[in-house]
Amino acid sequence: MCGSGVFYDLASELDGEGHAVLRDERQFVVAIVGAGHGGANAAIALRQVGFKGPIRLISADPNLPYERPPLSKEYLLGEKDSERLLIRPASFWTERGIELLLGEQVKAVDAAAHRLTTTSANTIEYGQLIWAAGGETRRLSCSGHDLVGVHSLRSRSDADAFLAELAHVTTAVIVGAGYIGLEAAAALIKHGKSVIVLEAQDRVLARVAAEPLSRFVEAEHRHRGVEVRLGTQVDCIIGDERVTGVRLAGGEVIGCELVLVGIGIDPAIGPLREAGAEVGNGIVVDAQCRTSLPDVFAIGDCALHPSRFSSAGPVRLESVQNAADQASVVAKAIMGSDAVYDAMPWFWSNQYDLKLQTVGLAAGHDEVVVRGEPATRSFSVIYLRHGRVIALDCVNATKDYVQGRKLILSKTQVKAEDLASADNRLADMISP
Ligand code: FAD
């Protein structure tokens, strides 16, 4: 273990009369499971707020902590190399005395004993545990789902495996028209591939956006040469060892050399659920990201948390902002602060030259306004509830994004017709 002695005298402290009091080292250890955006930022934040005890950052991923968003964008396009994905350089972790246990999967949590067990049979004791295990990509369950050439895109090794095959690919099929599938489609088009996107719903981005944005994004992809097939179910993947095509529910076969499955993630909650934590669509946490287990926090993609921005009850968000901001709250909570997680959700996606920025949470909206003209390729889709703006999807419209955020916070009653005209500044609609 590196660093613990440097930061804290773990073995003893002096009591009021100057006698050494033996302390159990475990009390001071923060173990963090998962070294993605949540876990890595929790370790960084702990040092920033002055935590001096040992930090053990344990991750199943063998790589140094890295950023995931570029995996379906710049990394796939060859515009960013693996070094530039790193959340911090290698030296940072050693200098801060943060112990990295990489390539180690935690398989069990004993909450009463404050102990973790990893797949290589190591046991790790902790005083406080931060569960930041993210999510696992959903796989197809049909035959052929495990053929060579069928990919998902969550980790760096997923992206490397995908890139390693590209030279031999003429046609790629992407299953799922969510953000990751569409970003990958844009990258593949730039690589000169023939791309077919299959989506079971009747529009792209159906889970996250309103129809006007879906139709705009769909048109954009079609214009760039992507074949978008909506309302389309996959029957199975065909091939011997390697994929040669995708059979659709109607029997049609689309020939291809590569399939990317982008149908979402399931939160990685197994060991905590088995340890007795309360779970729903994620690990249930309070406003400080505390789980129902003593001294156990959960953050990031796996945490189901309360949010004043949600009109649909607790939410589980999959975004860098959410993971990083929750990490910061937990670090403060461990240091005894009563700070709570209250950040406004935001998200971004880049496809071709489109910069999509989302702020707020649209679920529960009762009105949608298109602001500006989609044909100009700069516009926003605004979501209202009871006459107040609750979220915006901004396309090449950063001003709307910045001012819209303030409009959401202000809870001002606004008229749809005022919002619709891009000539009216959103900032001017905020009541004093
Ligand atoms: P992760 O970053 O997934 O980290 C979890 C880590 O835990 C993983 O390294 C995993 O290996 C490890 N782990 C899991 N189980 C265990 C275990 N039992 N033991 C040990 N380790 C374990 N968000 C945006 O806001 N904007 C974007 O543009 C964007 N683009 C994205 C593009 C891609 C390709 C992907 C995959 C995600 C993208 N996201 C984007 C989402 C964003 O990356 C996630 O929301 C964020 O990474 C969540 O952080 P996390 O720490 O909760 O989980």
Same domain, 118 and 257: no
CA distance 261 to 87: 26
* Ligand 1 centroid distance, CA of 320 (Å): 8
Same domain, 247 and 360: no
Same domain, 167 and 203: yes
| 346 within a domain of the structure (yes/no) | no
pLDDT digits (tens, 9 = 90+) for 199-251: 999 999 999 999 999 999 999 999 999 999 999 999 999 999 999 999 999 99
* Ligand 1 centroid distance, CA of 397 (Å): 27
**Does 65 contact ligand 1 (Cβ within 6 A)?**
no
| 18 within a domain of the structure (yes/no) | yes
| 220 within a domain of the structure (yes/no) | yes
Which numbered atom of ligand 1 lies nearest the CA of 302? Answer: 52
Which numbered atom of ligand 1 lies nearest the CA of 38? Answer: 51
User: Domain residues for 83?
Assistant: 5-135+266-334
Question: Residue 13 is which amino acid?
Answer: E
Same domain, 222 and 111: no
pLDDT digits (tens, 9 = 90+) for 392-422: 999 999 999 999 999 999 999 999 999 999 9
Which numbered atom of ligand 1 lies nearest the CA of 136? Answer: 14
Q: CB–CB of 100/64 below 8 Å?
A: yes
| 28 within a domain of the structure (yes/no) | yes
**Among 36-45, 113-122, 401-410, which is the least confidently predicted range?**
113-122
* Nearest Cα residue to atom 31 of ligand 1: 69
Same domain, 118 and 46: yes
Average pLDDT across the chain, whole number: 93
Encoding tokens for residue 391? 């979220």
**Does 325 contact ligand 1 (Cβ within 6 A)?**
no
**Does 129 contact ligand 1 (Cβ within 6 A)?**
no
Question: Residue 336 is which amino acid?
Answer: G
* Ligand 1 centroid distance, CA of 185 (Å): 20
Provide the domain count of the chain: 3
Task: For residue 149, give the DSSP letter.
Answer: T
Q: Could you write out the DSSP letters of every residue in 45-57?
A: HHHHTT--S-EEE
Residue 308, pLDDT > 80, answer yes
Of 214, 233, 263, which marks where a domain is finished? Answer: 263
Q: What is the CATH number of the domain that holds 282?
A: 3.50.50.60
Task: For residue 69, give the DSSP letter.
Answer: G
CA distance 87 to 10: 29
Strands 123-125 and 128-131 turn out to be unpaired
Residue 302 to residues 124, 208, 360: CA-CA distances in angstroms?
Answer: 21, 18, 19
Same domain, 103 and 10: yes
* Nearest Cα residue to atom 49 of ligand 1: 37
Comparing 174 with 15, the larger pLDDT belongs to 174
